[in-house]
Structure 1
Amino acid sequence: MHSFLGESVLRQIIVTLCWLPLSLLALPAQADSAATAAPARQGGAMFKIQRAGHSAYVFGTIHVGRADFYPFDDKVLQAMQHSSAIALEIDPGNAQGLAELMTKYGIYPNGKSLAQELPPPLLQQLNPLLEKYGLTLDAVASMKPWLLATMLGFSEYTHQGYLAQYGVDVTLAAYAKKQGKPVVELETAEQQLSLLGKLTPAEQIQFLQDSIDEILDPAKAQRSLQLMTLWRNGDVDGLAAMLAELTSDDTFTGKFVQRALLDKRNPGLADGIARLTSATPHAFIGIGMLHLVGKNSVLAMLRQRGYTVSRVY
């Protein structure tokens, strides 16, 4: 494995807006205690799903956060406490094989270099951003463009004060571990990473260009920060409008979100939840909030499968 792709980099890998932080960092003490502290209204939205005598709670998560996102609301805490299992997209505490997957899908083989692949104008835009985040071109030279785009998105969130260690998924996994509850994965890290790793070289370069443009354009950058506010407010309609705007624009990123987030991942998540609720009573399910909004959401697909869906928080 390339030496730079160590623990310090792996703990930074996140796909902005829709992917779980693939983190190797030890679950922090704040995450262990956050779920059991005194309740407060802290954000998110929770739904109860029911079919054929089986029920579960589905909570919309966000994959980066701040310490003041916690504790969870009392209704969320009660649903967690009464659950028999915690289900997540993937378990952020399961690091086995992750480094190999990152190398498989995100690292150039045979000494190939990022600088050899990127057009000069894009390199000129990239260098100041790397400097802003305390990185160098040499440090990311073996990364494929999609992986670098992902890390830049994470780095900007970090720059704004939102950290993967305070992501809701990480906190839920820590709670499950502390309480001795099983963590069920609805997807695998391979499934998530392969969607990115199989992008063509041209698509990856466009993904990187779109990501840089998003960061450099103040108006576009506000959209990512607005996501945090909408989540804190539990504004499902606002999040649905944001997702509709994102998937209707002409950027590669918008089209990729439509193809990967909605068309490919949502049906699989809905199938996984259906299997889980048939076999596991009283599960608590946490998946990215953007999977739960819009006409092709996981919740809409569950309704099509005969589930009653009601918002309870």
Structure 2
Amino acid sequence: MNLVRHCLRRCGAALFALWLAGAAQAQDCPPPLSAPNPALLAQPPAGAPDRGLLWQLEKDGRSAWLFASIHLGRPEWLIPGPRLQAALDASDTLALELDLSNVYVLQALMSPVPGRPSLPLPPDLKARMQALARSSCTDLTPYATLHPVLQVGQLLAQSARRDGLGAEFGQEMGLMIQARLRGLEFAGLETPTLQLQALIPADRQEALEEVRESLRQLESPEVRLQTRRLAEAWAQGDLRTLETYEQWCDCVHSAADRAALKRTIADRNPGMAERIARLHGKGRRLLVAVGALHMTGEGSLLEALQARGFRVTQRWPEPR
């Protein structure tokens, strides 16, 4: 199973720990990424471009907004473009996959996952993980309580910094800043336990093989190329590239890979769509942000929302 796909699609939860803990620095480590001037976040410049993808949801005579997010980003990506600003201004609630403003949610992310036993790594895998941590300037000590499947995601996040991409500049972080500036409420579409149980295989051997394959992928230079291509496709609102991800990611080679893809993406969409429908039904004016790959493929979140009576219209990029 390809590490890029796993981390950018599923590590929105675990990557938040990277933002909190920071990363070790050494002589050959990538330089720190500088955040935009806070004034630019409080009063975004008129020329800031729109990035990502935005849909309008309509039901019962009221609108909500659905934004395709990405869990790694560049500093300038924190500045919302005019359409995202308008969606923020029209909303009273920011709904994320997880309510990352809730301290109990953050604590749950760093705790053992119910139903997912610990996974001691054999010496060879432990040595490979430690070598990758050194090469990517990552101190894994703060993540010692995380399942190894999630620890590997931290290695990818840190390696992406060499290409100017950081977890602290993912869209969840930028939207939370904007929501606080506007006094919006926060809501979560999933619980930490449900999300992590979907992301981590229940079978020990399956989890071990996932770690092994992820390390192999991370040891290849192709991982950075794939991460960069996926991030740039998001930034350009290139839905076609996102929809054809499996054709170029070199990430689905077996029935197990296909089952994992279904478990971590399509199987989660109905639950998130139901939560969106409930919040909308309570009169919340929603801006929803969910990982971009949830908008693609059979059983997408868009389809799940349409099945619950929403009219879904793409607003950015405008369909040709």
Which bin holds the TM-score, normalised by the shorter protein? 0.7 to 0.9
Which AA in structure 2 matches 1:219? E
After TM superposition, the score normalised by the length of structure 2 is 0.79
* Distance (Å, rounded) in 1 between the aligned partners of 2:228 and 2:131: 21
How big is the shift at 1:66?
A: 1.1
Whether the 8 Å contact between 1:32 and 1:178 is mirrored in structure 2 is no
Instruction: Indicate yes or no: 2:265 matched with 1:261.
Output: yes
Q: Can you list the C-alpha shifts for 1:152-208, whole angstroms capped at 9, x where unaligned?
A: 222222343211211111111121122111111111222212334553221221121
* Distance (Å, rounded) in 1 between the aligned partners of 2:162 and 2:13: 16
Structure 1 residues 16 and 311: CA distance shift in structure 2, 3 A:
closer
Aligned equivalent of 1:183: 186
Unmatched 5+ residue regions in structure 2? Answer: 1-5, 21-34
How big is the shift at 1:243?
A: 4.5
Whether the 8 Å contact between 2:96 and 2:187 is mirrored in structure 1 is yes
* Distance (Å, rounded) in 1 between the aligned partners of 2:139 and 2:260: 28
How big is the shift at 1:222?
A: 1.8
How big is the shift at 1:72?
A: 1.6
Instruction: Indicate yes or no: 2:283 matched with 1:280.
Output: yes
2:310 to 300, 307, 312: 307
Pairing 1:44-83 to 2, within 5 Å after superposition = 44-83=52-91
* Distance (Å, rounded) in 2 between the aligned partners of 1:139 and 1:72: 31
Aligned equivalent of 1:152: 155
Aligned equivalent of 2:221: 218
User: SS where residue 265 of structure 2 aligns?
Assistant: helix
Unmatched 5+ residue regions in structure 1? Answer: 1-13
184-193 or 245-254, larger mean C-alpha shift: 245-254
* Distance (Å, rounded) in 1 between the aligned partners of 2:177 and 2:140: 35
Structure 1 residues 127 and 165: CA distance shift in structure 2, 3 A:
closer
Aligned equivalent of 1:102: 110
1:19 to 11, 24, 43: 11
Aligned length: 292
Structure 1 residues 166 and 193: CA distance shift in structure 2, 3 A:
same
212-221 or 160-169, larger mean C-alpha shift: 212-221
Aligned equivalent of 2:92: 84
Which AA in structure 2 matches 1:187? E
Q: Can you list the C-alpha shifts for 1:198-250, whole angstroms capped at 9, x where unaligned?
A: 53221221121222122222334422221101101101121011046667432
Instruction: Indicate yes or no: 2:138 matched with 1:131.
Output: no
Structure 1 residues 131 and 19: CA distance shift in structure 2, 3 A:
closer
Whether the 8 Å contact between 1:31 and 1:171 is mirrored in structure 2 is no
How big is the shift at 1:128?
A: 2.4
Structure 1 residues 42 and 281: CA distance shift in structure 2, 3 A:
same
Whether the 8 Å contact between 2:74 and 2:164 is mirrored in structure 1 is yes
Whether the 8 Å contact between 2:99 and 2:105 is mirrored in structure 1 is no
1:249 to 240, 253, 271: 253
* Distance (Å, rounded) in 2 between the aligned partners of 1:218 and 1:155: 14
238-247 or 161-170, larger mean C-alpha shift: 238-247
User: SS where residue 111 of structure 2 aligns?
Assistant: helix
* Distance (Å, rounded) in 2 between the aligned partners of 1:142 and 1:312: 41
Which AA in structure 1 matches 2:7? V
* Distance (Å, rounded) in 2 between the aligned partners of 1:248 and 1:94: 35
Structure 1 residues 310 and 41: CA distance shift in structure 2, 3 A:
same
Aligned-pair Cα RMSD in Å: 3.0
240-249 or 221-230, larger mean C-alpha shift: 240-249
Structure 1 residues 195 and 125: CA distance shift in structure 2, 3 A:
same
User: SS where residue 312 of structure 1 aligns?
Assistant: strand
* Distance (Å, rounded) in 1 between the aligned partners of 2:73 and 2:216: 23
Which AA in structure 2 matches 1:72? P
* Distance (Å, rounded) in 1 between the aligned partners of 2:58 and 2:263: 28
Whether the 8 Å contact between 1:93 and 1:170 is mirrored in structure 2 is no
Instruction: Indicate yes or no: 2:284 matched with 1:292.
Output: no
Structure 1 residues 253 and 217: CA distance shift in structure 2, 3 A:
farther
Structure 1 residues 102 and 195: CA distance shift in structure 2, 3 A:
farther
